[in-house]
Structure 1
Amino acid sequence: MREVWKKIWFVLLHVLQSIGVLAFVALSWMAANFLTKTLYKVYGTPSSPYLVQMIDALLGVILFILAMMVLGLFIRPRQIAMMTSIIDAMRRIAKGDFKVKLDTNGKGRNEFDKIIQSINDMAGELGQLESMRQDFISNVSHEIQSPLTSIRGFAKALRNRDLSEEKREHYLEIIEGESRRLSQMSDNLLKLSYLESDKPSFETCRFRLDNQLRTVVLAGEPQWLAKGIQVDLDLQEIEIVAVEELLNQVWVNLLHNSIKFTPVDGEISLRLIATEHGAEVTIEDTGIGIKEEDLVHIFERFYKADKSRNRTAGGSGLGLSIVKKIVDIHQGDISAESRVGQGTRFVISMPYSFQQE
């Protein structure tokens, strides 16, 4: 409704402007006619009616041009000032200053107001992107610095010739684990970069989603058996059209998290059901759970609800970000519920057929 009123007001404004121009022309013509009649009384009327009309018309045009020039003297300085402020703002934005805020009446009645509003919006969005970029660089630097510090410290300790063989093996295992963590972080960053590119291309295929989930669970059998975790499956036979490799990454990441944060002799359940709009996958565990204040941030890059545990387990805080991005690409939805000490449940809804945009 608001957009309709804006369009109506825009049309009325142009109509009023047209009426104003016509009124100006009429006034100029009347003024010219008044002046010529006054002159004719003094100097006499020309003998030719055609010449009278030509003089009236010419004088009317001259008066109209003079009036517009005088009006322009009052309007032009304001326009120049606005153009100067716009150019200055663009220069500041080009140099990386995104705190630009140009003043406007906010009514958007003319083109200058629209340009100013667009510049303000652009500066705001670029400022947010710059803030996200700085946060991303800070997070990456922090995550890389930790394993590098460990590798450097334990490599230095290995130079001690009096070090026992047992400690030497222990230090080498730590160095190997931190190196593996760096490699995984690099792979995840590259994957996120590809998924967030402008137009990533994917090859879709038709496959059984229940078979894919069952294969992922069997592949993780050594991990959940080592902790004595019981895994329950309740999978309906459902076929979907999607990017099989990407969805496989979703289930691997979620199952890996459930195994990692579920204590010994815990339980993990996977359920797959068909709904009206698509397939719904539920992954639930009896793990340590997530605090309510952390739950809203779990899909953010590098966010760790349990920082100490994630660090010892080799997590980088990118797994759930990748999961969320893949689900979004498939036009699906993912949500999480959790209670500390009771466990976490993820619900993923996927359409039966994925259509690339």
Structure 2
Amino acid sequence: MKNQCSSKLKVHSLAILLLLSIVVYWVLFYFLLELFFSWLRVAIQPILLHVASALLGLALFAFVMAQVGKYMKPKRISYFQTIIQAIRQMAKGNFEINLDIPLPTDQKSRHNPFVQLVDSVHYMAKELGQLERVRQEFISNVSHEIQSPLTSIKGFARALENDRLPENKRMHYLNIIQKEADRLSKLSDNLMKLTALENTKHPIRLSNYRLDRQIRSCLLALEPQWTKKALDMTIELDPITIDADFDLMNQVWMNLIHNSIKFTPEHGKLQVELSIRDGRIMFCLSDTGIGIKKEDFVHLFERFYKADRSRTRRQEGNGLGLSIVKKIIEVHHGEIHVQSEYQKGTRVTILLNMSG
């Protein structure tokens, strides 16, 4: 009630002030015109004098109010105009913006809605710019990964057109084309799976099963690879039951164990452990492989990242494996930690809850 009375009083006061201003301008012009016509010694009807002074007074009042309005124009309007221009620039794809708006920097003013609005626009531009850079890098990496096998397929397909090509070379070229086609198919499948996991659209089908048996099955499936390298395998798997997505977790173990075998030299060592620690399931995989350089750690789980680019033709892979592993562990509310020393080995630790 008090606020309403105060608002009405302000409106009435403003109306009276404006009315007085008009009257002052009217009276002022009335005397000025009277003096002017007296100086010219011209007789003029009083009614005309009143009309002329009223019109001139209103015109002067309007001009003064317009000038005062420009001078007293709220800064908020200019703030909004600047912000609107910045948003339009972002809509066109330009995220390198800087709102040149003088704002208070003291702690109390940080709660000012305009300060918060400007900060939010800056933050949005920064995040959208980062997202755009990631998108462009992703497209570039996908193009590179696709172009490589396509070039091989195209080249060997042309070579097969030679009628004089020996049968053994023909079969060799066909085998390469098949491997490159499989590589493209695997890349497409991994991209779709990673996208689904990142968008949380991948259906998680939880089931209760023995985790130790699943890991043992993966080790048996990869036995030809680690026996070929004569690796010294140490396997310690406690009987543990878990609620998780069997297929997704199977991909985790296959990927990690396959990587350890692939990057461990002949007669190296692999140690696989599964146990309960502090009420959580702990999986540890240690090897005496080539390890990871310190500068590569920050990129370890990035899509398409390969620590040693020189091995990309000799060692199969598209750099998506660890990204998928990390996403699968995250959707199961688990953790993955990697410790490594270059040329000495790597240790991967995964922590999972007993019930998904």
Which category of TM-score, normalised to the shorter sequence, fits these structures? 0.7 to 0.9
| Equivalent residue in structure 2 for 1:316, among 301, 318, 331 | 318
Aligned-residue CA RMSD (Å): 2.8
Deviates more, 1:260-269 or 1:272-281: 260-269
Q: Distance in 2 between matches of 1:344 and 1:290?
A: 7
Deviation at 1:218, TM superposition (A): 1.2
Q: Which residue of 2 aligns with 1:87?
A: 84
Q: Which residue of 1 aligns with 2:73?
A: 76
Unmatched runs of 5 consecutive residues or more in structure 1: 1-17, 36-68
| Equivalent residue in structure 2 for 1:252, among 228, 251, 254 | 254
Q: Which residue of 2 aligns with 1:221?
A: 223
Determine if contact 1:271/1:282 at 8 Å carries over to the other structure. yes
Deviation at 1:313, TM superposition (A): 2.3
Determine if contact 1:178/1:314 at 8 Å carries over to the other structure. no
Corresponding letter in the other structure for 2:191: L
Q: Which residue of 1 aligns with 2:113?
A: 111
Structure with bigger gyration radius: 2
Q: Which residue of 2 aligns with 1:102?
A: 99
Deviation at 1:341, TM superposition (A): 2.8
**Once the two structures are aligned, what percentage of the paired residues are identical?**
50
Deviation at 1:237, TM superposition (A): 1.5
1:197-208 aligned within 5 A: 197-208=199-210
Unmatched runs of 5 consecutive residues or more in structure 2: 21-65
Q: Which residue of 1 aligns with 2:143?
A: 141
Deviation at 1:233, TM superposition (A): 0.9
Alignment partner of 1:261 is 2:263: yes
Q: Which residue of 2 aligns with 1:157?
A: 159
Aligned length: 299
- TM-score w.r.t. the length of structure 2 is 0.76
- TM-score w.r.t. the length of structure 1 is 0.76
Q: 1:109 to 1:225 in 2, by over 3 A?
A: closer
Deviation at 1:224, TM superposition (A): 1.9
Q: Which residue of 2 aligns with 1:170?
A: 172
Q: Which residue of 1 aligns with 2:44?
A: none
Deviation at 1:156, TM superposition (A): 1.3
Question: Secondary structure of the equivalent of 1:311?
Answer: coil
Deviation at 1:78, TM superposition (A): 2.0
Q: Distance in 2 between matches of 1:146 and 1:72?
A: 66
Deviation at 1:339, TM superposition (A): 2.5
Deviation at 1:166, TM superposition (A): 2.2
Q: Distance in 2 between matches of 1:298 and 1:227?
A: 25
Alignment partner of 1:124 is 2:126: yes
Deviations 1:151-176 (A, max 9, x none): 11111122223322222222222111
